[in-house]
Amino acid sequence: MRSEPSILHIDLDAFFAAVEQRDKPSLRGKPVVVGGIGGRGVVATASYEARAFGVHSAMPTAEARRRCPNAAFLAGRFHAYRETSHAVMTLFRSITPLVEPLSLDEAFLDLAGADLTDLSVTGVSGFAQELKDRVREVTGGLTASVGIGSSKFIAKIASELDKPDGIVVVAPGMEQDLLRPMQVTVIPGVGPATAEHLRRIGVHTVAELEQISVEELVRVLGTAQGRSLYQLARAQDDRPVVAEREAKSISVEDTYETDHVDRRLLEALTDRQAAKVTERLRKARLSGRTVTLKVRLHDFSTHTRSATLPGPTDDTRTVARVARTLLGELDTSGGVRLLGVGVSGLADWIQDDLFTDTDAEPAEDPDEETATVLASLTRRRSWLPGLDVVHDEHGEGWVWGSGRGVVTVRFETAASPTGRVLSFAADDPALHVTRTAPEE
DNA sequence: TCTGGGGTCCTAGGACCC
DNA sequence: TCTGGGGTCCTAGGACCC
């Protein structure tokens, strides 16, 4: 909570639809709906002309067609949206390095990091107007809504108050007067489930929320949300604007036009998603340890299964194999509506690094070769959950931990002198763990 | 033709380690 | 002689956001 209104939230109005109207003049002034246009699609963005018919985000497209049959229904051109977003974020970063993007069309700016001496209400209002003018220039005509306040929370609420194309500055000291009459649902993080919990204890407005003790809120909503809401009800928020946030997961998912039952088809679809997700990993020069399979069944129930590998990977076949194994754990006989594959536990180095000498010629001297392999293992020791010695028909080798589903073994003995990497299913009867090496 | 796709954060229980 | 306690990792599900 600052004494000056120096946090700015900016949101491009009806972003996807506005880009479409910009690029296709015949759509201007008309209802435009961007989103899934298939039978199971939902609306991502509706232009203000379409909103007048009651169309809004997250509405099934079928319902949107009923409400506004004459709208243009578009699947979306994400390349164009990303390009426009990039231009806007670049503009923001030219003003202050403290830019926190929330999505393609939204960001926080910390004006304390900008070259702006007058942080009075009139000062920041003038700044906001100039910023909107420059957004219009770099986007080819898009409008934005700006909220400015003494915290992220207040700035975000403020930007909602005068859409589209508005500017709202909340003067320091006025925060609670603004919030008290509002519904609790205006608080970011209060969705339908939380609102229902609060309704049951008689809370509808922020003023009513303010009357509830922190103990009671924690009892009803849990520690994290209870404490957070207790503070927000009092307009207390000191979260900083964070410029660089690293990705925590990368995933791909698809909802199918009809439910799929065929096992082989499901496996093939899973493979394709593994290929997509690993391609994105490699492009981002990332790799990850945990593979998650997501399945939505015919009854809309959603299930996830995950497995954590001994080390990070960006390899398509590895991810595909794990995903298939996880698929096998679920009963899909009733029909699958959605499949997804994700990778988390991201590391910013590439798996190739692990096995650089996989194809290298082994050293002539077996002791030297063993020393090389051991040195390699020792270097990775920090993330190896366990270094086990195993043996099978290939001889003796070292296990890279004990991930569920897949075990990767590196052999460095006479039977496999090249230090080849071999993989086994975890339940492979040919694989016997004989002992665990002592801790370093 | 009910309910997308890409994310983040939180919770709770169990395993495991010291 | 009968059952610790904290910390961390992993998994599954849920709520929420744009």
| Domain ranges, ordered by start, for chain A | 1-171, 177-232, 249-367, 383-433
Tell me what pLDDT residue A364 has: 53
Distance A428 CA to C17 C1' (A): 43
Pairing state of beta strands A32-35 and A43-46? antiparallel
What's the average model confidence in pLDDT over A270-278? 97
CATH number of A177-232: 1.10.150.20
A36 pLDDT more than 50: yes
Strand C nucleotides, any atom under 7 Å to a protein CB: 9-18
Which segment of A49-58, A329-338, A358-367 scores lowest on mean pLDDT?
A358-367
- Does residue A106 have an active-site annotation? yes
Assign domain A383-433 to a CATH class.
mainly beta
Tell me what pLDDT residue A238 has: 95
CATH number of A1-171: 3.30.70.270
Tell me what pLDDT residue A19 has: 98
**Contact (CB, 8 A) for A277 and A252:** yes
Between CA A431 and CA A395 the distance in angstroms is 11
Distance A45 CA to B2 C1' (A): 18
List, as one string, the DSSP characters of A238-260: -PPP-S-----EEEEEEEEEEEE
Residues with CB under 7 A from strand B: A 35-36, 38-42, 44, 57-58, 60, 62, 103, 222-225, 247-255, 257-258, 280, 300, 337-338, 340, 342, 344, 439
Between CA A292 and CA A401 the distance in angstroms is 19
Q: Does domain A249-367 have CATH number 3.40.140.10?
A: no
Residues A373-388: tens digit of each pLDDT:
444 443 443 333 333 4
Distance A147 CA to C15 C1' (A): 26
